[in-house]
Structure formats: structure tokens, C-alpha cells
DNA sequence: CTGAAAGCGCTAACAA
DNA sequence: TTGTTAGCGCTTTCAG
């Protein structure tokens, strides 16, 4: 039926081939000092000749710790998450770790338990969770605290090391920009979070500080289509002159709807995005948006975890990475 | 310094707690039949009480096979790749597998060897490689043939099971659409592949069959910015009336450059994209493009691998998934 | 500097 | 139906 399993060469094979004991091979493989250079050379030659690869399962079994970090997220293909993942993978690879992904697709309790179960059965070194929504957040809480973990995005969870982008600062800058332009208030089309997001908080706080009306947030999903639907509705309310969208995709949908409805952007309505995706500079109009370095976020998240794994140095507070406003064509002063 | 490692409960602990031998526990865990229901219940209770998780490293060590599939790619954040990854993860999770990602970032020989080395040291069940470029392609060739593997995109490699999207068919439909509209020829702005891509082949063949001039492909990168640069150049060549872009991002960059240069799309120049990203329907003009189901591609790729792992059934030929043209605003008849 | 022995947690024979 | 015995490939004492 299936091919008889062919054994990969083991340390014993290498030992036999180079005429030493397999413990000596282990020392060579693990770069320990106390090996005669000549012996080392002989062993290395045998390793090469046999095409030997250390077996990380066996190693994990005896050391009790793997060299894999798991990334837990509810989505890995949206721009920001995909790029963050890329950053994690980059830093992890450089540090000799391997990256595992687990997508939490349903809020279903048993589904989540299953995922966590599976996570923990692997020989993990640590775990990075995207806690922008409640899925990963509750998963983190199911993970025993002895497992090193860092949370990325949102509010964190379980008292874990936490790193995030300064979404609140970005939102503040965005709203201030619009206010400075002369808009009386700014509407917000955002994905309803269970816990208020930095974007929401920054928006709300800035309006409040300016003493201007604070309209109800308009709920959307992350799809451009959803932005389009909201945009069509906004087009009918001529008192709305500025919209702060949850991300660039939503903003693009809104812009398109507005223009399809005969309204001008930014002439009639200013629209601001979030994320600064590669496309944001090339849509028409190009988007004023908040730029975030997701790749750096991912790298730093891994570094944080790495510190936890190696020295158990728990950072005092959350790490906040800067964001900045990029002004483009989609915002302007309101029509007088 | 670092916390003393706390042992997770092992089978022995469960055995002790439930008053059976640990092999019986093994039977229960692995859902084998020959266990007294009562014993089973007792064991399960102990599992629950202790919070026992099977150790997959130990299991992999003895069975010689892991339950992890590795995905090897040169990029995981571009829309198509990110979505394909999502499809793989989805199917893998459903089948009880875990997904590992390895990004091949440099064509450097030793770098690649390092990555493959690391891959093979894990207890893998199999491997999925994105062979759209030469990086993953040569990595696959470094992997011993005993390891089940499937290649996705491009031309495949190493005689492995291969699944891809019908990019050639998509390109043909796109070019035919443009030709039918009355364009005399169609230029192609594509990312130069080492081996001709389906997009390139479909474009070239369709032009050839139509007996129209076949201009040199215009090299770009996957960035919208690159599309913009190419678009600026195209804007100066008033004999170009139709451009087939390598993907939607490039198309968007081209469109923007064209319009910035005072040319109309599709009035002066028709632009066609590829991928049908969520945004393609909402840019201005919206993009005529070729739609591809990346998530399905990912799922099917995993299924293929799964078949290889479980029954070693090597498919006869490559699996080709359909693509289809979506006509929107960015294409139209040439000005007479 | 090198070798011998033990055992990580598990599955797969085989025995009872 | 359950228990016994090996041993997967490796690192870690501890001897030499």
C-alpha cells in the first residue's frame, strides 16, 4: 500500500560513519565547545555525506520546549494581518524559530477549545495572538500562563505582554486634520468591536475635546462592499461632510458610493481611511489615511516573545508603535 | 533565572489518576475500540481533571510522521497568496493538521538550504510550495522525494502533484475581450517570470492566433507604484490603446498614471487587471479583471496533499481550477 | 575531550 | 479487555 517508511539518518548513523559516539555528534550539532577540532570536522563531514538533519521532535521531547511559535488570529489575509504575520515570520526565521498559524474561524466555544487543544499539543516555544477581536482574546485566556505569549492589536488579554499600533493617536490626528479643515463634526464608519478600538476611542475623544457633536458610529464590515452600502446612505444625508472610515478598503467603498450618488470627494464629503495600504496612494481620489508599519509590528511582537522565552523578561507596560497621518486627495475643507 | 519548567501532565499521570496502565490511556486517546466503556469513562474523566493534552512531538517521534504541513512561499501577504494560505489552513484544520509557514525571502543558495534544512528537521506530514517563482521551485527540488508534496501556481516542480488556476485561460478571455472590443493589439505589463507564466502565455498565444502584433512585455513589480511608473510611460505612447496588467494593483497604478497624464480610461486606453481583489469593483473606474478563487485553490491543494499522505495517490496530471473574466468599467472600445 | 547510561512521552508489538 | 516491553532520536547528567 503505502511506501515503507524510510528512516532519515539519525545521530547514531552519523556517529557510526565518523567513528565517534553519538553524544559527540550531539555536541557538534549543538555547537558546543568541548570537541576536538579534528573530531568535529570528521563529524561534520559525515553529517554532510549522509544528509543528516536533526530531528526537532526528538529534541523538543527531551528539552520540553519546541522552537515553534504559534500565531493565533481570526484572519490572516486582510492586509494588516497578513503583513504583521510576515513580520513575525521574518523575525522568527532570523532567530531560528518556525511559525505555525492557527485561524480561529468561529466564536463557537467548542471550536475554540479544539483549536487551543491542538495548539497546546504541539511543542511550542510561545504564542502570539492577534487580540483585535474577542476570538483570539478568549483563546489566550485558555492557554496556561506558563506558556510565553504576547498579544498584538487591540486591548490584549490575560495580562500578557502586549504590543500595538498607536491607532488612537492615528485616529486623533485624522480627526484633528478634518476639524482643522473646518468640518463641524466627523462621522465614523467602523467595524463594531466588542471592546472599543483605538480608532473609535481616538475619534470619540477628539470630537469630545473639540466640543463638537458626536454622531453614532456607523457599523460596517471589513469589506469594501460594506463601505459602499454605507456610502450610499451617507450620500443622502447632506449634512455629513466628513467620514472617518475603519480602513482603506471601507474608505474606497464609501468614496465610490458617494461619487456614484453624484457627490464629490472631497468637495462635498471628505473621506479618510486607515492603514495606508499600497493602493491608497493610487485610487481616485487617493486616500488621506493613517499609515502603520505592520511588518515592524510583527517583528517587534516576535522580539517581545523571544525575550519572554529566553529570559522571561515581562515588559512593564504595552509597547505602542507610532502611526502617522498621510494627507492625500480625499480630504479637504467643507463646502461653505 | 528562568522559571523552572513545569511538566505538563503525561499519560502516566492520567493512568495513575484513573488506575489503569498508561497504554490503556493511549488507546482511549487514540479512539481505539477495544476499551471497556467504563474504563474509558474513567480515563476521560482523569484527562479532563488533569487538563491533559497529548504531546504531538512524542507521537511524531514514534510514528515517524508529524501532523504538520509546511507551506513554502516567497510571499504570503499579497492578496492571492494570503488567501490561498487561508484556504490551506482551513482545510488543514478541518482534517486535524497544523500549518507551518516558511517564507523564502532570498534567492541566495545558502539561505534557501537553511530554510529547507529547517523544514526537514520538523516532524512534517507533507509540504505545499507556491511555485509561482523560482524560489519555492528550487526548494521543492531540495526536498527528498519521500516527503509528500504538492506545488501550487506556476509550472510546478520536481514532478510533484500540481494544482493551479487557469491563468492562461483567464488571460485568453481577457485578451479576446479586448480584441473583440476592437483593439488592434494589447500590451502586457507583467512581472517578469523566469518561466513564462500562464498570464504571459495566454496573452501571447491569443495575440498570435489573432494574427496581430505582439509587443514586448513591459516589466513591472507587484507594487502599484511600479504600475504607476509604467502607466506614465504608456501615457506618452498614443498608439497603445489596451493594456493587460499582471494584477489588479498594477492595473490600478496604471489607470491612475494614465488619468494623471490626461488620458481617459477606458476612452483612450483600456486597462484590464487580474485576480479580482475585493477592491477591484470599487476603484474608479472599476476594473475589468480575471476572477480567481484562491481560497478554493488552497483547500484543494491541501486535499491533494492529504490524499498523498494517506493513500499515496499521485494524481495523473495537474489540477486546473477555472477562472473567469469579470467585465467592468476599465475596458471599452478604442477611440476611432 | 569523549563515552556510557538514563529517560523525555508516546505507540506498537506481544503477552496475559 | 488490559498490561508488558521496547524503542523512536535526542539531550543531559555523570564517568572516564
A228 lies within 8 A of chain B by CB: yes
Mean pLDDT of A132-142: 90
d(CA B20, CA B43): 8
With cell 488506575, the residue in question is: B19
Helix, strand, or coil (residue B293): coil
CA-based nearest residue to A202, from A178, A227, A184: A178
* Least trusted range by pLDDT, from A138-147, B166-175, B206-215: A138-147
pLDDT, tens only, B229-288: 999 999 999 999 999 999 999 999 999 999 999 999 999 999 999 999 999 999 999 999
SS3 per residue for chain A: CCCCCCCCCCHHHHHHHHCCCHHHHHHHHCCCCCCCHHHHHHHHHHHHHHCCCCCHHHHHHHHCCCCEEEEEECCCCCHHHHHHHHHHHHHHHHCCCEEEEEECCCCCHHHHHHHHHHHHHCCEEEEEEECCCHHHHHHHHHCCCCCCEEEECCCCCCCCEEEEECHHHHHHHHHHHHHHHCCCCCEEEECCCCCCCHHHHHHHHHHHHHCCCCCCCEECCCCHHHHHHHHHHHHHCCCCCEEEECCHHHHHHHHHHHHHCCCCCCCCCEEECCECCHHHHCCCCCCEEEECCHHHHHHHHHHHHHHHHHHCCCCCCCEEECCEEECCCCCCCCCC
The answer to whether the CB atoms of B122 and A56 lie below 8 A apart is yes
- Chain B residue with CA closest to A277: the answer is B224
A57 lies within 8 A of chain B by CB: yes
Identical fold at B68-166+294-323 and B167-292?
yes
Take residue A258 and report the three cell numbers written for it.
458617494
pLDDT of residue A250: 97
Take residue B147 and report the three cell numbers written for it.
516527503
Question: Cα–chain-centroid distance for residue B119?
Answer: 18
What's the CA B175/C1' D6 distance, rounded, in angstroms?
A: 66
**A279 interaction partners in chain B (CB closer than 8 Å):** 224, 249, 252, 279
Per DSSP (E only), the strands in chain B are 68-73, 98-103, 124-130, 149-152, 161-165, 187-190, 218-219, 242-245, 270-272, 289-291, 319-321, 324-326
pLDDT of residue B33: 65
The answer to whether the CB atoms of A61 and B65 lie below 8 A apart is no
Mean pLDDT of B292-301: 98
pLDDT, tens only, B185-200: 999 999 988 778 999 9
Mutate to test the interface with A, among B50, B56, B77 (most CBs of A within 10 A): B77
Radius of gyration of chain A (CA): 26
B14 lies within 8 A of chain A by CB: no
A24-33, A35-44, B81-90, B190-199 — most confident range: B81-90
**A224 interaction partners in chain B (CB closer than 8 Å):** 278-279, 281-282
Fold of B167-292: Rossmann fold (3.40.50)
Mean pLDDT of B293-321: 93
d(CA B156, CA B314): 14
d(CA B296, CA A15): 47
* Least trusted range by pLDDT, from A45-49, B59-63, B108-112: B108-112
Take residue A173 and report the three cell numbers written for it.
490626528
pLDDT value at B32 more than 70? no
What's the CA A52/C1' D10 distance, rounded, in angstroms?
A: 14
What's the CA A183/C1' D14 distance, rounded, in angstroms?
A: 78
pLDDT value at B60 more than 90? no
pLDDT of residue B1: 32
The answer to whether the CB atoms of A228 and B100 lie below 8 A apart is no
CA-based nearest residue to A96, from A131, A54, A42: A54
For the range A113-118, what are the long-range contacts, defined as Cβ-Cβ under 8 Å and sequence gap of 24 or more? A113/A142, A115/A72, A115/A139, A115/B93, A116/A142, A116/A143, A117/B53, A118/B96, A118/B98
CA-based nearest residue to A54, from A25, A79, A33, A76: A25
Q: CB neighbours of A79 closer than 8 A, spacing ≥ 6?
A: A248, A249, A275, A277, A294, B77
With cell 514514534, the residue in question is: B62
- pLDDT, averaged across chain B: 92
pLDDT value at A1 more than 70? no
pLDDT, tens only, A255-280: 999 999 999 999 999 999 999 999 99
d(CA B326, CA B313): 36
The answer to whether the CB atoms of A1 and B312 lie below 8 A apart is yes
Select from B5, B58, B227 the Cβ nearest to the Cβ of A61.
B58
pLDDT of residue A4: 38
pLDDT value at B3 more than 70? no
Q: State in Å, rounded, how far the first CA of chain A is from the last one.
A: 79
B129 lies within 8 A of chain A by CB: no
pLDDT classification of A163: cutoffs 50, 70, 90: very high
Q: At what angle do helices B294-311 and B79-94 cross, to 10 degrees?
A: 40
Domains of chain A, residue spans: 68-166+294-323, 167-292
Percent of chain B's residues with pLDDT above 90: 66
Q: Comparing A16 with A214, which gets the higher pLDDT?
A: A214
CB-based contact B217:B170 (threshold 8 Å):
no
pLDDT classification of B20: cutoffs 50, 70, 90: confident
pLDDT, tens only, B104-121: 988 888 888 888 888 888
pLDDT, tens only, A52-77: 888 888 888 888 888 999 999 999 99
d(CA A57, CA B265): 57
Q: At what angle do helices A22-29 and A11-18 cross, to 10 degrees?
A: 110
A62 lies within 8 A of chain B by CB: no
A10 lies within 8 A of chain B by CB: no
* Least trusted range by pLDDT, from A189-198, A267-276, B326-335: A189-198
- pLDDT, averaged across chain A: 92
The interface residues of chain B toward chain A in range 314-333, judged by CB-CB distance below 8 A, are none
pLDDT of residue A5: 44
pLDDT of residue A2: 34
B252 lies within 8 A of chain A by CB: yes
* Least trusted range by pLDDT, from A16-20, A94-98, A282-286, B100-104: A16-20
The answer to whether the CB atoms of B93 and A102 lie below 8 A apart is yes
d(CA A56, CA B68): 13
Question: How many CB atoms are closer than 10 A to CB A37?
Answer: 7
CB-based contact A127:A147 (threshold 8 Å):
yes
d(CA A328, CA A272): 9
d(CA A318, CA A159): 10
d(CA B290, CA B24): 56
Mind giving me the DSSP string for B85-127?
Answer: HHHHHHHHHHTT-EEEEEE-----HHHHHHHHHHHHHS-EEEE
Mean pLDDT of B150-163: 94
pLDDT value at A299 more than 80? yes
Give start and end residues of each alpha helix (H) in B248-332: 248-260, 294-311
pLDDT of residue A61: 86
Output DSSP code: residue B259: H
**A226 interaction partners in chain B (CB closer than 8 Å):** none
B259 lies within 8 A of chain A by CB: yes
With cell 476592437, the residue in question is: B182
Select from A58, A228, A249 the Cβ nearest to the Cβ of B61.
A58
pLDDT, tens only, B230-245: 999 999 999 999 999 9
Percent of chain A's residues with pLDDT above 70: 97
Would the Cβ of B36 be found within 7 angstroms of any atom in strand C? no
Mean pLDDT of B147-152: 95
pLDDT of residue A33: 67
Give start and end residues of each alpha helix (H) in B211-247: 224-236
The alpha carbon of residue B97 is apart from the nearest alpha carbon of chain A, in Å, by: 9
CB-based contact B69:B97 (threshold 8 Å):
yes
pLDDT of residue A259: 98
SS3 per residue for B298-312: HHHHHHHHHHHHHHC
Chain B residues 6-35 with Cβ under 7 Å of strand C are 7-8, 10-12, 22-23, 26, 29-30
Q: What is the pTM of this model?
A: 0.94
What's the CA A23/C1' C4 distance, rounded, in angstroms?
A: 10
d(CA A10, CA A54): 7
CA–CA–CA angle A193, A195, A200 (5° rounding): 65
Mean pLDDT of A165-189: 98
pLDDT classification of A290: cutoffs 50, 70, 90: very high
Q: Comparing A23 with B242, which gets the higher pLDDT?
A: B242
Which nucleotides in chain D have some atom under 7 angstroms from a protein Cβ? Answer: 1-5, 7-13
What's the CA B13/C1' D5 distance, rounded, in angstroms?
A: 19
pLDDT value at B13 more than 90? no
* Least trusted range by pLDDT, from A2-11, A21-30, A149-158: A2-11
Mean pLDDT of B33-61: 84
pLDDT of residue B6: 57
Strand D interface, protein residues by Cβ within 7 Å: A 7-8, 10-12, 22-23, 26-27, 29-30, 52, 54-55, 58-59, 61-63; B 20-21, 23-24, 27, 33-36, 38-40, 58, 61-62, 64
CATH class in words for B68-166+294-323? alpha beta
pLDDT of residue B286: 98
pLDDT classification of B63: cutoffs 50, 70, 90: confident
CB-based contact B235:B218 (threshold 8 Å):
no
Take residue A267 and report the three cell numbers written for it.
468637495
The answer to whether the CB atoms of B55 and A123 lie below 8 A apart is yes
B106 lies within 8 A of chain A by CB: no
pLDDT of residue A6: 57
- Chain B residue with CA closest to A253: the answer is B282
Would the Cβ of B39 be found within 7 angstroms of any atom in strand C? no
Amino acid at each position: 500500500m503505502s511506501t515503507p517508511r524510510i528512516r532519515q539518518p539519525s545521530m547514531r548513523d552519523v556517529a557510526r560513519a565518523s567513528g565517534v559516539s553519538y553524544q559527540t555528534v550531539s555536541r557538534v550539532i549543538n555547537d558546543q565547545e568541548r570537541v576536538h577540532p579534528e573530531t568535529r570536522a570528521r563529524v561534520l563531514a559525515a553529517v554532510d555525506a549522509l544528509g543528516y538533519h536533526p530531528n526537532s521532535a526528538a529534541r523538543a521531547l527531551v528539552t520540553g520546549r519546541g522552537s515553534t511559535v504559534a500565531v493565533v488570529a481570526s484572519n490572516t489575509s486582510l492586509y494588516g494581518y497578513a503583513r504583521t504575520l510576515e513580520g513575525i515570520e521574518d523575525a522568527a526565521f532570523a532567530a531560528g524559530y518556525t511559525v505555525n498559524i492557527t485561524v480561529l474561524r468561529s466564536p463557537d466555544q467548542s471550536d475554540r477549545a479544539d483549536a487551543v487543544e491542538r495548539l497546546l499539543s504541539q511543542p511550542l516555544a510561545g504564542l502570539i495572538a492577534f487580540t483585535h477581536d474577542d476570538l483570539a482574546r478568549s483563546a489566550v485566556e485558555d492557554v496556561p500562563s506558563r506558556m510565553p505569549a504576547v498579544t498584538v492589536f487591540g486591548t490584549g488579554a490575560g495580562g500578557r505582554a502586549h504590543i500595538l499600533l498607536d491607532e488612537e493617536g492615528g485616529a486623533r490626528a485624522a480627526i484633528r486634520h478634518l476639524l482643522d479643515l473646518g468640518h463641524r463634526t466627523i462621522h465614523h464608519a467602523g467595524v463594531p468591536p466588542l471592546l472599543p478600538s483605538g480608532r473609535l476611542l481616538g475619534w470619540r475623544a477628539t470630537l469630545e475635546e473639540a466640543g463638537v457633536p458626536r454622531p453614532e458610529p456607523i457599523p460596517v464590515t471589513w469589506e469594501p462592499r460594506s463601505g459602499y452600502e454605507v456610502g450610499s446612505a451617507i450620500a443622502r444625508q447632506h449634512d455629513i461632510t466628513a467620514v472617518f472610515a475603519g480602513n482603506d478598503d471601507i474608505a474606497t467603498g464609501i468614496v465610490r458610493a458617494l461619487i456614484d450618488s453624484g457627490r464629490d470627494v472631497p468637495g462635498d464629503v471628505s473621506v479618510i481611511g486607515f492603514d495606508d495600504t499600497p493602493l491608497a496612494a493610487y485610487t481616485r481620489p487617493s486616500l488621506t489615511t493613517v499609515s502603520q508599519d505592520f511588518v515592524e509590528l510583527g517583528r517587534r511582537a516576535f522580539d517581545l516573545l523571544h525575550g519572554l522565552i529566553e529570559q522571561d523578561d515581562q515588559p512593564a507596560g504595552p509597547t505602542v508603535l507610532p502611526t502617522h497621518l498621510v494627507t492625500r486627495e480625499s480630504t479637504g475643507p467643507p463646502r461653505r
